[in-house]
Structure 1
Amino acid sequence: MELAGMTVVDAHIHQCDPMTTPREFSGLAKLFRYVPVPIDLAKRLAPKRDREFAGDPTPVMHPYLPRDYRSDAGDLPVEAIVHIEVEWVGKGPLAPADETRWVASLPFGVDTPALGAIMGAADPTAPEFAELLDAHQAASPRFRGIRSRVEYHPDPDVRKTCKTPGKLTSPAFLNGFGALADRGLAFEAWVYSGQLPEVAALAERYPDTTIVLNHLATPAGIFGPVGRDTGRNPGQRRELFVRWRDDLAAVAAHPNVVSKVSGLMMPILGHPVPKRGEPTPVPVLLERISPMLEHALDVFGADRLIWGSNFPVDKPITSIPNAAEAVATALAGHGADDKAIEQVFRRNAERVYGIDVL
């Protein structure tokens, strides 16, 4: 299905320049720039968890700026984007606000899509959390909320930030989260699917705070084997799908949660990585993602789903136009009409992120 006759908000992209701004991966990016190590050799030497998560490290080893996104979007009529934090590091507890300031300074809206909103980085368990939120807000009027690094997976060979489960429901996180709620800001929840009960508990604790579930909760291994023992066979993948399905429905029961139909082409889901420059065809993507999208539409409805490309993270698997076409076609195949498709690809993002630039 083509998105003809409507404009799009891409509600999940990452802008970064590891050469000129401080990122967790800046050192590695600079090494590739100044030391003539072939990227494919470096890929083979990288830890297995990193190879499986990134698929191809090329997209994150170079700057990804508005012109790069414009090129990747092709003919897709994207009018605005939402930037999601990208592993900014720096000195001092207020350093993450520098990313918000940097993104706001980028040349959006000239011959590129407009900047609709910024979701910055912050940790509710940090003593200076409230002060950092204020610094983000002062850095840009487009700041709408935060994403925290809370992803955890029990498989030791699946890439994660948290080494132990339960951060979303820890007393320190729940107590600090109140500062976000008091300011009417949103929370971007990127978790693995086993953490969905934690998202439900957070939504119940703070029913007036908008929680945006990223990537339908990233059920690692649902399309193929990853890690040490995740998605190893069809039986395991079926069990993973059933648990994901039930836990997603429980999260959707909380009306303050919306979900992004994004990141469905992340390599960590178990997608085979095609040759560089040869995106996975739409029919192949459809076969994989349709059951997930059908269930998401059933439990959230078209008014609580938001599309995002997750570029450049999903670039090793697909292109932005292919990703959009696959999601739109899957939703239409499950009964979504043109109005519902427009909600998913534009209207819901405008509402959730307070986008007023269109």
Structure 2
Amino acid sequence: MDLTGIRIIDAHIHQWDPLATPRDFSAMARLFKYLPLPIEIAIRLAPRRDREFVGDPTFFAHPYLPADYHADAATVPIEAIVHIEVDWSGKGALAAADETRWVAELPFGGANPTLGAILGHANPAAPNFADLLDAHRAASPLLRGIRTMVAHHPDRDVRSFTESESALTTKAFLDGFAALAERGLCFEAWVYSHALPDVTALAARYPEVPIVLNHLGTPAGIFGPVGKHTGTNPSLRRELFIRWRDDLTALAANPNVVAKVSGLMMPILGHPVPRRGYPTPVPVLLDRIAPLVEHALDAFGADRLLWGSNFPVDKPITTIANSVEAMTAAITGHGGGRPELEQIFRKTALRVYRIDSDGRPAD
């Protein structure tokens, strides 16, 4: 089954310019610009945890802007996108709102897809959290919520994005989280899969806050070895899948949670990184991701799933067209039809991010 007539909302992309805006990876980007190194050498020099997470640093060393996304999605009917914060490193308590302002001013629309919503960065544990939320909202009416980098992995050779093992469970985080409810904003939860119970506890404590699970919980190493001891053999990968399956089922019992079938082509899941320009074939992708998509569909139902390309982070493994094709095949192969496809590729995102049916942000 194809997607003819379905105007897709890509619910998870990143936009950046590490040369003109402050990013955690700006130093690397400037190094590539002013001291060019063959990419293969740069990959060998990078720490293992960074190599395995990004797969290919090329896409982090250059700007990724609306025209770049448009070129990557040229054969796919993408009507609108949702921008998710990424590694803004400006100085000052309210600096993260500058990313929201910057994204809102990018040339979306016209030949490029419409900008449907923005999810900014903020940490509920920070003392200035409420003020930062207000600064984000003042920066753009497209602000729909925030994401906090709380992905932490117990394998020290898997890249973590916070030093805290349980950032979602601290008193400061839980107390600050109430500011989201007061403002009618949602929370994008990106964790590694072992922390799914923390998301479940958060959802139960704040049932009035919409929570969007990013990347189905990112079960690092589920397709192959990463880090020092993660996913190193089929038995460990089977254990990882069973734990992920059970924890995702428990999370889905909370009606305020929806899940993104996104990021399933992230290198950190254990995908072998193909030679640049030769994306992983769709049948291979489908063989890997189908069990994850099928269980997510059973646990959440199509009306609580939404698709995102996670570009350009997934670009070392796949193309947007291949991602859409593999996802479509996984859904239809599990009994889904056109209503389920339209829900996952469009309608859930319209509802969750309050985007009008014509792809424009709602008032």
Shared fold, TM over 0.5: yes
Q: Secondary structure at the match of 2:125?
A: coil
Residue equivalent to 2:350: 350
How far the C-alpha of 1:47 sits from its partner, in A, is 0.2
Q: Quick one: distance in 2 between partners of 1:313 and 1:280?
A: 15
**Alpha-carbon deviation of 1:4?**
1.5
Mapped to 1, the partners of 2:184 and 2:263 lie a distance apart of 26
Per the TM alignment, residue 182 of structure 1 is displaced from its structure 2 partner at its CA by: 0.8
**What letter matches 1:170 in structure 2?**
T
CA distance in 2, matches of 1:127, 1:174: 12
| Corresponding letter in the other structure for 2:328 | A
Q: Distance in 1 between matches of 2:36 and 2:212?
A: 41
Residue 314 of structure 1 aligns with an amino acid whose one-letter code is D
Q: What is the 5 A alignment of 1:14-33?
A: 14-33=14-33
Displacement of 1:39 in angstroms is 1.3
Deviations 1:116-145 (A, max 9, x none): 000000000111100000000000010000
1:155 and 1:36 map into 2 onto residues whose CA distance is 32
* 1:273 match: 273
**Cα separation, 2, equivalents of 1:207 and 1:160:** 28
Structure 1 position 164, deviation (Å)? 3.0
CA offset at residue 168 of structure 1?
A: 0.3
CA drift at 1:163: 2.2
Query: Which 5+ residue runs of structure 2 have no aligned equivalent?
Result: none
Report if aligned partners of 1:155, 1:229 keep a CA contact under 8 Å in 2.
yes
Q: Percent identity?
A: 67
Provide, for residues 197-234 of structure 1, a one-character-per-residue CA deviation record: whole Å limited to 9, x for no partner: 00000000000100000000000000000000000000
SS in 1 for 2:149: coil
Residues 3 and 325 in structure 1, CA contact (< 8 A), matched pair in contact too: no
SS of 2:229's equivalent in the other structure is coil
Q: Which residue of 2 aligns with 1:127?
A: 127
Q: Distance in 2 between matches of 1:23 and 1:36?
A: 19
C-alpha deviations, 1:249-282, integer Å up to 9, x for none?
0000000000000000000000000000111111
Structure 2 partner of 1:309? 309
SS of equivalent to 1:230: coil
* Aligned match of 1:36: 36
How far did 1:337 drift?
Answer: 1.1
Secondary structure class of the residue paired with 1:107: coil
Alignment of 1:198-217 (within 5 A): 198-217=198-217
Find the counterpart in structure 2 of residue 177 from structure 1.
Answer: 177
RMSD of aligned Cα (Å): 0.7
Q: What is the number of residues matched between the two proteins?
A: 358
Equivalent-residue separation in structure 2 for 1:355 and 1:40 (angstroms): 42
* Residues in 2 aligned to 1:248 and 1:195: alpha-carbon distance in whole angstroms: 10
If the length of structure 2 is used for normalisation, what is the TM-score?
0.98
Provide the C-alpha distance between the structure 1 equivalents of 2:116 and 2:318, rounded to a whole number of angstroms: 24
Per the TM alignment, residue 86 of structure 1 is displaced from its structure 2 partner at its CA by 1.1
Matched, 1:320 2:320: yes
Moved more, 219-228 or 2-11: 2-11
Structure 1: where are the runs of 5+ without partners? none
Question: Equivalents in 1 of 2:91, 2:97: separation in Å?
Answer: 11
Tell me which amino acid in the other structure corresponds to 2:157: D
CA–CA distance in 2 between the matches of 1:338 and 1:326? 15
Deviation at 1:2, TM superposition (A): 2.7
SS of the aligned residue for 2:163 comes to coil
How far did residue 88 of structure 1 move? Answer: 0.4
Equivalent in the alignment of 1:111: 111
2:202 is aligned with what amino acid? L
The structure 1 segments of at least 4 consecutive aligned residues displaced by more than 6 Å after TM superposition are none
Alignment partners' CA distance in 1, 2:330 and 2:230? 26
For 1:1-358, list aligned pairs within 5 A: 1-356=1-356, 357-358=358-359
Q: By how many angstroms is 1:38 displaced?
A: 1.1
Aligned residues of 1:155 and 1:230 also touching (Cα < 8 A) = yes
